[in-house]
Amino acid sequence: MYWRGRHADDRVAMCGVAKVLSGDTRPDYPQLAKEIDDFLERPGAEFRLYGGMRFDLSRNTEQDWFGFPAWRFVLPRFELHQRGPRTLLCCNLIFPEDLAIQEVILEQAHELIFSTASSSISVPKPISRTDNPGFDGWKSQVGWALDAFDREVLQKVVLARRVDLSFDEQPEPIELLHVLQEATPNCFHFLFESNSSSFIGASPERLFFRRGREVISEAVAGTRPRGETSHDDQAYRASLLASEKDQREHAFVRDRIRNVLTNVCQSVAVDEVATEMRLAQGRHLYSRLSGRLEEGVTDLTLLEHLHPTPAVGGEPTEVALHAIDSLEDFDRGWYAGPIGWIGRDSAEFAVALRCGVLHHHTLSLFSGAGLVKGSEPGSEWLEIEQKITDFTKILGLAVTSPK
């Protein structure tokens, strides 16, 4: 596993398993919260459990999604922290359980291999690309959504596409992550392995960050690309901030998060005017929300009620999830789900966006677009293309225009 916060000067590479909590169906949130709290309250160093969840835990999960369970949180056996110029190697031990396997743990420690990143890292170029759906199918899906908006069945739905890239030579997941991280500053970077698959991403979007009883969340919705020139870049920025459609799409997300936090916080502060989140390859409308949690509200409470926001699902939520399940011809799995870590006194989760699964010789990329009344198939297709350029640009691929 690997985790780096969006602005944190702390990178964590992890391997091995000291403790794992996982399941193949929707968790019992209160019971899981108690189990996690009981474990984290053990005396000693402050542990962090790293993991994630599926986008839709109510969906039938019997079919395997690249070897990833419905949800999983792991205390790694070994953690390598890099904080600025300092590097710290940690071995997590659980007592009394680990007393019986101390010789095994010592052997594992001796077998650890450390290597510095080579300056000659190169990622192979793919030999083929498959879009699901293609543009004709995408037009049909957007048309269905526009009709649902006209009938006032839906106000917003986020539909996604899956792009499969095939390679002659299997890319190394660590090298792919390294190049992706260099190309995408100011993002959450992550890698989670399961069996022979690696889930890799560079997400700009925080679901929540908690320190003590203080919690911060974000509304991120509405998209424009970066411009090739300073003049073009400013024009895209002005277009985004002035767009009634994008502001409306953004408001659905902000209002939903506001409602959730109001129910679990003593007080809530909200950015009522959206500003710009500027990234290397694009920009979004952004609003910050914060509050002080009521006693008894756990990180699992926040996960259960905050996810999915209308930034990845839609409005109304249940109708949008049903539409996504009916229209998308692939399983989102962990894409667009919460991903991050839980500690004793703090926790942080991102939304798993701008991500892909490397499985043998295929890299499957996932990205979506928020549809509201006034959306147009061609522009929404290009929006998704712009979002996956974090990956395709480092692979030497150009944006694919709708046909």
Is the per-residue pLDDT at 171 higher than 70?
A: yes
Question: What's the CA gap between 16 and 19, in Å, rounded?
Answer: 9
**Arithmetic mean of pLDDT, 374-398:** 89
Q: Is residue 245 part of a domain?
A: no
Question: Model pTM greater than 0.85?
Answer: yes
Q: What is the DSSP string of 101-168?
A: GHHHHHHHHHH----PPPTT--PPPPSEEEEES-HHHHHHHHHHHHHHHHTTS-SEEEEEEEEEEE-S
* Number of CB atoms found within 10 A of residue 348's CB: 23
Q: Is residue 401 part of a domain?
A: no
Q: Is residue 94 part of a domain?
A: yes
Q: What is the pLDDT of residue 60?
A: 61
pLDDT more than 90, % of the chain: 83
* Residue 257 backbone dihedrals phi, psi, to 5 degrees: -65, -40
Q: Is residue 202 part of a domain?
A: yes
Q: What is the pLDDT of residue 113?
A: 84
Is the per-residue pLDDT at 117 higher than 60?
A: no
**Arithmetic mean of pLDDT, 313-328:** 95
Q: Where in the sequence numbering do the catalytic residues fall?
A: 156, 205
Q: Which class for 38: exposed (0-12), middle (13-18), buried (19 or more C-beta within 10 A)?
A: exposed
Q: Is residue 222 part of a domain?
A: no
Q: Domain residues for 130?
A: 2-208+319-392
Count: domains in the chain: 1
Condensed to tens digits (0 to 9), the pLDDT of residues 141-168 reads: 999 999 999 999 999 999 999 999 999 9
**Arithmetic mean of pLDDT, 120-142:** 92
At 119, is the pLDDT very low, low, confident or very high (cuts 50, 70, 90)? Answer: low
Q: Is residue 302 part of a domain?
A: no
Question: What's the CA gap between 334 and 121, in Å, rounded?
Answer: 28
Q: Is residue 58 part of a domain?
A: yes
The CATH number of whichever domain residue 28 belongs to comes to 3.60.120.10
Condensed to tens digits (0 to 9), the pLDDT of residues 21-46 reads: 999 999 999 999 999 999 999 887 78
Q: Is residue 303 part of a domain?
A: no
Q: What is the pLDDT of residue 61?
A: 58
Is the per-residue pLDDT at 102 higher than 70?
A: yes
